[in-house]
Every structure is written in structure tokens, then in C-alpha cells.
Amino acid sequence: IRTLLSSVLSLVPALSFDDQELKIYQQQTLQWLNQLAFKRMGGIVAYAPGLGKTKVAIENIRQVQKENNQPILVVVPNNLIPQ
């Protein structure tokens, strides 16, 4: 599992986005997730498919890792992990 998480998290810095690339609702979601992370809480983003939840989640992970170096559990299907 440790190797799997290292593989996923190694992709995060390469996939960061500028706030200007995020739509307003994505920026608001990112702010909410960052506030939860600051309080050492988690949240679930569950709006309609195709609205950029993955993009927001990746940016949130990148920011939390950069600021706090907190451990983050990322659960993804096996087919998303580079072999």
C-alpha cells in the first residue's frame, strides 16, 4: 500500500492548477476543502459528473501537502495507477 500511495502522490505536484484555471464553483469548493483540512477534517465533494471534482481534489491535496505535510489517503481504482 505504501508503494501505491507514493506512486499516486508523486503525480500530484505535476498536476497542479492555477486558481484562474478553476471555475468559480471549483474555487469555492477548493476553499471549503482547504478550510476543512486546516481544521484537520475531511469532506466529500459529490456534485454532477464532469464538473471538475478531480481537478479540485488534486489541487487540494497539493496545497495541503505543501503547507502542512499532512498524510493524505487517496483511494483510486487500480487502472489509474501507472504500471
The whole-number mean pLDDT for each consecutive block of 10 residues of the chain, a chain of 83 residues, reads 56 58 91 88 87 87 79 74 70
Q: What integer pLDDT is reported at residue 9 of this predicted model?
A: 57
Full-model pTM: 0.65
> b/e map of 16-35 (b: 16 or more CB within 10 Å)?
eeeeeebeeebeebbeebee
pLDDT score at 65: 80
Among candidates 70, 4, 77, 2, which has minimal Cα distance to 42? Answer: 70
Give the pLDDT of residue 70: 67
